[in-house]
Amino acid sequence: MTKEYEIVMGLEVHVELKTKTKIFCSCTTEFGGEPNTHCCPVCIGLPGALPVLNEEVLNYAIKAGLAINCKITRYGKQDRKHYFYPDLPTSYQISQNDLPLCYDGHLDIEVKGATKSIGITRIHIEEDAGKLIHQEGLGTLVDYNRAGVPLIEIVSEPDLRSAEEVKAYLQKLRAIMLYIGVSDVKMNEGSFRCDVNLSVREKGSDVLGVRTEIKNLNSFQSIMRAIDYESQRHIRVLEEGGTLVQETRGFDQTTGKTYSMREKEDAEDYRYLPDPDLMPIVIDDAWINSIKDSLPELPDERKDNYIREYGLSSYDAEQLVASKDLADYFEEAVKLSKNTKTLANLLISEIFRFIDLEEFEEPFPAEYLGELVNLIEDGVINISTSKRIIEEMRKSSKSPKEIVKEQDLEQINDRDVLSPIIDEAIANSEKAVKEYRAGKEKALGAIIGQIMRATRGKANPQLINEILLEKLNN
């Protein structure tokens, strides 16, 4: 490859809202259930049944819009988007065409130590479709339980340039939806789904290439793999002097390849028309302001606080606010501990290794975490012992203090106890001592390792260093 290419991506994310009832009827939105039991004449599209908009859908959608810095329309309407597919009982989807509920927002992401702002074109409300189940021997079955579950579709500007940026954007968006409580955003249950619009162009060019849309990606891993495959495919076609077709493509998880599904429809193919059964949507300032007042503290505000008040790095702070439950847990422990930096380090370097950040559940009470930090701060234990205690806390429900007492883990801070152990280690390390005296500072590591083993990791590391240097330099 001689030329350098740039990938240009925009995302369409569908988020199922967790209102109690569907968007145009009073059926439950609960996931699963026996097929076609969460249905009524409205959501299976029987002739003569009339939709009525669920006001709660507007509350949730406006909340989502405000949380990602969108403007909210004062006048909106709902349109029929026509396409014939059996998962839509009416053969049109009620969506929004030219007057979306929210528009012109942005979402800031952190990638490679820099903050980048991704434009949000619009958010519109629409109904979800049913589910087709293809069964060997039976043909295709349809389950309308999901038909009419409210969705917001969040459309971004083509501001994304790498799979890494896409991941950061989706994680942030998902975190915000959880913070504001409008969706349970479970990718495996389809309540958070992503389509990627992708094109490739020569670096430096300001003309967009031909774009393809990859549909229905339902895990972070599939999204990353699909982007990788599809961008390479575009580059290959361009290098070979071929032409790309604007089309919708699927992603096959077993082969890791994308495949053509259909030529892309343009807006006119959908024959949008205002739904005559639904009233216009009229929103006033008081309504918007009351939703604004109900917004919780959002990830970016929390992050700024962590940087300003606790002196954390932007990267560390971003990780801690990634889930609301995690950030709540961290803040509870902050109140109980003497050193926030030590606390953040323990969480990120030790505890992140075994917790699920997407579905955070506290591994042990926040008080214990605070207590553990204080034991380190007070010199009762050292950092390496704290790791052992964390392992122990995962298995038992004991507090750090109890574990220290039971297993005799207190740090050895007594010179008289350490001195003979250090003498012995020096006597056993002729080679390392020689190397050290010849100017190789690193040789000390082997001697310190011996002392740590002899004390079961409990020796005070600073004190060992001090005594060892005294002895060697005399």
Binding site for Zn ion (CB under 5 A): 25, 27, 40, 42-43
Report what 62 binds from Zn ion, Mn ion, none; CB cut-off 5-8 Å by kind: none
438 to 67, 424, 474: CA distances (angstroms): 62, 21, 15
**Shortest separation between residue 147's beta carbon and Zn ion, angstroms:** 8
User: Least distance (Å) from Mn ion to the CB of residue 126?
Assistant: 5
Q: Select from 17-25, 39-47, 148-156, 422-430 the region that touches Mn ion (CB under 5 A).
A: 148-156
Nearer to Zn ion, 55 or 301 (CB): 55
Residue 389, binding choice from Zn ion, Mn ion, none, Cβ under 5 to 8 Å by partner class: none
Q: Which of residues 28 and 342 has its CB atom nearest to Zn ion in the complex?
A: 28
Give the range of 111-119, 152-160, 246-254, 286-294 binding Mn ion by CB under 5 A: 152-160
Of Zn ion, Mn ion, none, which one does residue 40 interact with (CB within 5 to 8 Å by kind)?
Zn ion
CA distance 8 to 161: 5
Distance CA 110, CA 116 (A): 6
Binder to Mn ion among 128, 153, 165, 195 (CB under 5 A)?
153
Q: Which one of the spans 43-51, 150-158, 295-303, 356-364 is the region binding Mn ion (CB under 5 A)? A: 150-158
Min separation Cβ 40 and Zn ion, Å: 3
Among Zn ion, Mn ion, none, what does residue 27 contact (CB within 5–8 Å per kind)?
Zn ion
Q: Residue 25 touches which of Mn ion, Zn ion, none (CB < 5 to 8 A by kind)? A: Zn ion
Question: Binding residues for Mn ion, how many (CB under 5 A)?
Answer: 1
Return the one option of Mn ion, Zn ion, none that residue 291 interacts with (CB less than 5 to 8 A, by type): none
Q: Which residues bind Mn ion (CB under 5 A)?
A: 153
